[in-house]
Amino acid sequence: MKLAIASLVLGSAAAFSPSAFSGTALSAASNGATMDMRYKVAVIGGGPSGACAAEIFAQEKGIDTVLIERKMDNAKPCGGAIPLCMIGEFDIPESTVDRKVRKMKLISPTNVEVDIGDTLQPNEYIGMCRREILDKYLRDRAISYGAEAIQGLVTKIDVPEDHKETESQYTLHYQEFTAGSSAGVPKTMDVDLIVGADGANSRVAKAMDAGEYNFAIAFQERIKITEEQMSFYEEMAEMYVGDDVSPDFYGWVFPKYDHVGVGTGTVVNRPAIKQYQKAIRDRAGDKIAGGKIIKVEAHPIPEHYRPRRVQGRLALVGDAAGYVTKCSGEGIYFAAKSGRMAAEAIVKLMEGGKRLPTQTEIERTYIADYDKLYGPTYTVLDILQKVFYSNNGAREAFVELCNSKYVQQVTFDSYLYKRVQGNNPLDDLKLLGETIGCLIKGYAIATPDQEFSNPVESAKRL
């Protein structure tokens, strides 16, 4: 039996853990008596996954919620593109959106350009955000609902051997940073349940032995260009494909309020990322020429789920779990959604803070529901990436295919609304024929991919 001593020492608002008590105290809590003894949930990481998880826990008054974020003004390296449905579903004000993209140029290895966007309705758009703005909004909302916010870097988590069978607590070790001081103060805190929302380099994943995933390295430069150049990107984003900009992904130019984000990514040849970044700058050419690089950012992007996403009462969400789609590299919506789904499932299982969920219960709710909802999306995008991003012939075919209004419609609908479209079988059949035709033509006109040798990185792939 353990008291949540750390919370007392730290003078935190949270008091005791019900697991510390038995008999009358616990039953008083179960009867709804107002005793200050609650289970404590720690959400580690204040990006979209953590903020959206914390806001759900914070609204359950029978649970104490603490949100630990290493840097409250963090500007996550990111293209910042979000689907339209996220705005409504997560009640995000449009003021967090820098630009509403309604047109896209898809540019092939031989610089064939296809304009997409004609199928969009006037009120439809892709939102372009700066992450420091979006994340802060979501985090502040969780705090306003009652989550206790700590600016701290979690460095270690003690996971008791018996955590799957008993209610023994987890001990967080973290460096707390207070305003005006760069030196962290070492602290500890005992908690009953942990949500790992701490991104691709997750400490929570490490603590729970969640296993590894392949990852891309993505690189982006924020480039301030002239107003005249910016007017081209007013409502426009660009995607470039070709082995010069990435052997297995795409390069992008995404507009922000007074600059553009120019970036690329790769899994298979990460050491060459700067060479690919130079190529995307060159491909964009005059449209960004003379621009001033105001920020350089890079970060890993997971390629697939981790082997384990729940252990005992430790659960992963967002990038920590590996929820980024192939092909598009989209992870913001899936982070927010998985954070919300995990928290909603766990809150329900906790029955107003009266009990703790088991690993099996979390797996049967959060994990099963998430996989059912999005498993097919990950699979389809994985296949598309393998087919269309693997060589210049296939990339040419991909760009040509995107000329089809039907392809544009289905692609935008799936991206913007995150629902699998009820496709038209006749159009699908026609599309299959067109795909084969485009692939044959693409292979005929394409320049072969440059060979590269990267045995060390390749061997590391899981």
Binding site for ligand FAD (CB under 6 A): 44-50, 68-71, 74, 76-81, 153-154, 197-199, 203, 218, 220, 263, 299, 301, 318-320, 324, 329-333, 335
Minimum CB distance to ligand FAD smaller for 20 or for 327: 327
Q: Could you tell me if 314 and 204 are in contact, meaning their C-beta atoms sit under 8 angstroms apart?
A: yes
H helical segments located in 126-272: 131-144, 203-207, 227-232
The CB-of-144 to ligand FAD minimum distance in angstroms stands at: 18
The CB-of-147 to ligand FAD minimum distance in angstroms stands at: 14
Minimum CB distance to ligand FAD smaller for 83 or for 291: 83
Minimum CB distance to ligand FAD smaller for 263 or for 312: 263
Helix, strand, or coil (residue 441) = helix
CA distance 331 to 327: 11
The CB-of-44 to ligand FAD minimum distance in angstroms stands at: 5
Q: What does the buried/exposed string (b/e) look like for 108-126 if buried means 16 or more CB atoms within 10 Å of the residue's CB? A: bbeeeebebbeebeeeebb
The CB-of-261 to ligand FAD minimum distance in angstroms stands at: 8
Minimum CB distance to ligand FAD smaller for 32 or for 375: 375
Give the CA count within 13 Å in the CB-facing half-sphere of 165: 2
CA distance 187 to 174: 5
Closest CA to 418 of 48, 49, 89: 89
Minimum CB distance to ligand FAD smaller for 317 or for 439: 317
The CB-of-418 to ligand FAD minimum distance in angstroms stands at: 11
Beta pairing, strands 148-158 & 292-302: unpaired
The CB-of-294 to ligand FAD minimum distance in angstroms stands at: 15
The CB-of-420 to ligand FAD minimum distance in angstroms stands at: 18
Q: Could you tell me if 394 and 338 are in contact, meaning their C-beta atoms sit under 8 angstroms apart?
A: no
Minimum CB distance to ligand FAD smaller for 20 or for 205: 205
Name residue, tokens 């033509």: 441
Nearest residue to ligand FAD, using CB?
A: 331
H helical segments located in 145-263: 203-207, 227-232
Separation of first and last alpha carbons in the chain: 41
Minimum CB distance to ligand FAD smaller for 7 or for 19: 7
CA distance 2 to 57: 23
CA distance 115 to 124: 16
Alpha-carbon distances of 227 from 232, 285, 400, rounded to whole Å: 9, 16, 31
CA distance 219 to 79: 10
Minimum CB distance to ligand FAD smaller for 80 or for 353: 80
The CB-of-150 to ligand FAD minimum distance in angstroms stands at: 9
The CB-of-424 to ligand FAD minimum distance in angstroms stands at: 28
Minimum CB distance to ligand FAD smaller for 47 or for 442: 47
Closest CA to 415 of 104, 111, 113, 197: 104
**Rg of the chain over all Cα atoms, to the nearest angstrom:** 24
